[in-house]
């Protein structure tokens, strides 16, 4: 009788599924996904908030217009502004007209450094609604 | 090499039980599959402008770089300005919820940036950001 039970036990053991190949596959998949997982943290400034309407639908006078010419000079309100003074100027104009958004009109050959600087200044002044006008 | 009888029992109990490890590995696998977003990298390094108020762009899916020489790089290849619209369209279809981050070099011109933004707008991507460095 005991001999018979042992036979059954051996049979059962051999019937068990061998998990090793599956484990290999799962491990390789795991390594693949760990390696390809790119936890890139991009920092940046949103150009147009998704909820912000397009610039065309707004009355002209409610916007703070900032011009950047081809020599990377910043003009606000017909005056040449030092890049460091942009924030103060936008702050002042924003206080006069709190609903206005900032519209940046940049020349085609101006650099993007100046553009981002102006956008940053506007955000520092508390205006998060920034649009870039088509320069045509 | 299996032995019958008592020895077989002893061997079996000495074997390490793999089931808990398998559980852990499976959960890790599911985690990495779910979090895998497959960001399309631009392929070049650019000198980004500094900004104090930059936010982290969580759902960035397509990175578009503009080199100092006004070349547009998408998905590790330099692209002609006339074809970027179709490239963005194709990449956007793979991940419709993702936003576009434009990595414009400090010295790149505004003209190229507008071309890229126009292309993104034409495709229907409203969430466009300009990459910057946190100061």
Show the CA angle centred on residue A82, arms to residues A77 and A85, nearest 5°: 80
Contacts of A54 (CB under 8 A, 6+ apart): A48, A131
Report the half-sphere exposure of A87 (CA within 13 A, side-chain side): 12
Strand duo B128-131 + B99-104: pairing: parallel
Q: Is residue B42 part of a domain?
A: no
Whether B19 and B71 map to the same domain: the answer is no
Q: Is residue B40 part of a domain?
A: no
In this model, does residue B4 exceed pLDDT 60?
A: no
Helices marked H in A16-111 = 20-36, 86-96
Whether B104 and B62 map to the same domain: the answer is yes
Whether B29 and B61 map to the same domain: the answer is no
Domain boundaries, chain A: 2-36, 57-132
The answer to whether residue B50 neighbours chain A at the CB level (below 8 Å) is yes
Structure tokens belonging to residue A97: 């007209």
What are A9-68's pLDDT values in tens digits?
Answer: 555 556 777 878 888 888 888 888 887 776 666 777 777 644 444 445 455 557 888 899
State the smallest CA–CA distance between residue A7 and chain B in angstroms: 8
Complex prediction ipTM: 0.71
Q: Is residue B43 part of a domain?
A: no
What are B52-75's pLDDT values in tens digits?
Answer: 888 888 778 888 999 999 999 998
Whether B129 sits inside 8 A of A116 (CB atoms) is no
From chain A, pick out residues whose CB is under 8 angstroms from the CB of B110.
68, 106-112, 115, 135
Average pLDDT over residues B5-27: 72
Whether B26 and B56 map to the same domain: the answer is no
The whole model's pTM is what? 0.70
What are A75-124's pLDDT values in tens digits?
Answer: 988 889 998 899 999 999 888 888 888 888 888 888 988 988 999 999 88
Domain residue limits at B19: 6-35
Contact B57, B134 (CB under 8 A): no
Whether B129 sits inside 8 A of A109 (CB atoms) is no
Q: Is residue B17 part of a domain?
A: yes
Q: Is residue B78 part of a domain?
A: yes
pLDDT of residue B66: 92
Calpha distance A10→A13 (Å, rounded): 5
CATH of A57-132 among 3.30.420.270, 3.60.40.10, 3.40.50.2300, 3.90.79.10: 3.30.420.270
From chain A, pick out residues whose CB is under 8 angstroms from the CB of B129.
42, 44-47
Whether B104 and B65 map to the same domain: the answer is yes
Beta strands, E only, B21-127 = 50-51, 55-57, 60-66, 72-74, 77-79, 99-104
């Amino acid at each position: 009788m005991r001999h018979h039970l042992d036979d059954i036990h051996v049979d059962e053991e051999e019937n068990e599924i061998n998990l090793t190949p599956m484990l290999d596959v799962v491990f390789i998949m795991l390594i693949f996904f760990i390696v390809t997982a790119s936890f890139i943290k991009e920092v940046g400034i949103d150009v147009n908030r998704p909820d912000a309407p397009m610039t065309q639908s707004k009355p002209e006078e409610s916007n703070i217009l900032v011009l950047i010419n081809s020599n990377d000079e910043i003009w606000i309100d017909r005056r040449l502004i030092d890049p460091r003074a942009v924030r103060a100027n936008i702050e002042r104009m924003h206080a006069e007209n709190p609903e206005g958004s900032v519209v940046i009109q940049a020349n085609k050959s101006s650099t993007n450094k100046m553009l981002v600087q102006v956008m940053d200044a506007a955000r520092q002044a508390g205006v998060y609604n920034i649009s870039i006008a088509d320069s045509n | 090499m299996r032995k019958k009888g008592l020895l077989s029992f002893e061997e079996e109990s000495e074997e390490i039980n793999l089931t808990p490890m398998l559980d852990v590995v499976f959960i890790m696998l599911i985690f990495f599959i779910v979090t895998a977003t497959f960001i399309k990298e631009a392929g070049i390094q650019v000198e980004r402008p500094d900004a104090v108020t930059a936010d982290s762009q969580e759902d960035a899916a397509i990175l578009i770089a503009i080199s100092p020489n006004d070349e547009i790089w998408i998905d590790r290849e330099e692209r002609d300005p006339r074809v970027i619209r179709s490239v963005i369209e194709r990449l956007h279809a793979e991940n419709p919820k993702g936003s576009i981050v434009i990595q414009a070099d400090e010295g790149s011109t505004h003209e190229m940036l507008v071309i890229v933004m126009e292309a993104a707008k034409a495709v229907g991507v409203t969430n466009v950001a300009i990459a910057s460095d946190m100061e």
